[in-house]
Amino acid sequence: MLADKCLTHLPNPACEKHLPQRAVTIIHLAVARMAQLDEWFMREALKEAKKAEGQTSPNPAVGAVLVIDNHIVARGHHRGAGHDHAEIECLRNFSASVPARATLYITLEPCSTVGLTAPCTDAILKAGITKAVVGAVDVNPRHHGRGITRLRDAGIKVREGVLAEDCAHLNEAFNKWIVSRQPFVIAKCGMSLDGRLTRPPGESHWITGPSARHHVHQLRSRVDAILIGAETVRVDNPRLTVRGVHGARQPWRVVLTRSTNLPRRARLFSDRWAGRTLIYKGKSLASVLKDLGKRSVTSVLIEGGGEVLGQALDARLIDKVQIYLGPILTGGPLIAFPGRGAQSTGKATPLREVSYWRIGENVCITAYPKENRR
């Protein structure tokens, strides 16, 4: 009798000793296989979420899949504020009654409060879901843990934390903004191997190649705002638009200036996106970021110039760096991150989760300052 009871409660060391070793091994293999399947289906849900990456702000990107007998029978993802959430779209795409053996995989804890849409927990219960697998717990104070508790209290078997880091990483900007109301700040620049931002005068200002520049446009497509200093407007006359990325939203274009001495014919003020350009005069970078957060801007990409990048580093405002290295040496005075700098190596900003990958002839480096935990 005890052995029969243990079959439904493994893995449990107290129960294992009452079963033959072969039975224990088989059960552990089955549990491991189930965990592998959960991760595989969660990766499929993540693929769904990424379909709308950069489109959902100020909401998070979320994906869901419905699985029956180890087969995905429906998919869904959140497409933007005001649209159905991923779980709702997924369940609607399954045009039949949900059998009890079905499992719903969701990259983010379902919401349990009324917003622009009804609570997803209500829809899950109404659909008759009996098993759910959740990736990341929602850090939103309104929802944190409540959705999972609501489902469990209703008798639904919930497994949480499957690929939690991957699911949370997808919404790193949202996760910071929803808690602090401050945007997630990415410091980006293309620089030479000796840390310069431009080539010598009279030459092309491109340091990186076409593949790296296309990669930057993909990055732009995932942020809410791009921020530069006035000198970059005067010298480079940038567009700061997203090009070559299908269906991308145009981010806000933000200019920091000490004066009103800006070229009115600059592209930022005269192209079709002029209404998406904001000018902040005589404001500190910290105060500008605070105001952008109030405007529901969840992520800001700082693209230069060096003075603004240096200010961000000195003030410890950077959440992530994304640097593109071109295979050249230029010399010259325009350093990527000037500012005051660290007084000693011990006071420098250490980086974590450093990644490198090659893009054409360029190298892209991403990392996170250690004092800014995601």
Q: Which residues are catalytic?
A: 87
According to the 3-state scheme, what is the secondary structure of the chain? CHHHHHCCCCCCHHHHCCCCHHHHHHHHHHHHHHHHHHHHHHHHHHHHHHCCCCCCCCCCCCEEEEEECCEEEEEEECCCCCCCCHHHHHHHHCCCCCCCCCEEEEEECCCCCCCCCCCHHHHHHHHCCCEEEEEECCCCCCCCCHHHHHHHHCCCEEEECCCHHHHHHHCHHHHHHHHHCCCEEEEEEEEECCCECCCCCCCCCCCCCHHHHHHHHHHHCCCCEEEEEHHHHHHHCCCCCCCCCCCCCCCEEEEEECCCCCCCCCHHHHCCCHHHEEEEECCCHHHHHHHHHHCCCCEEEEEECHHHHHHHHHCCCCCEEEEEEECCCCCCCCECCCCCCCCCHHHCCCEEEEEEEEECCEEEEEEEECCCCC
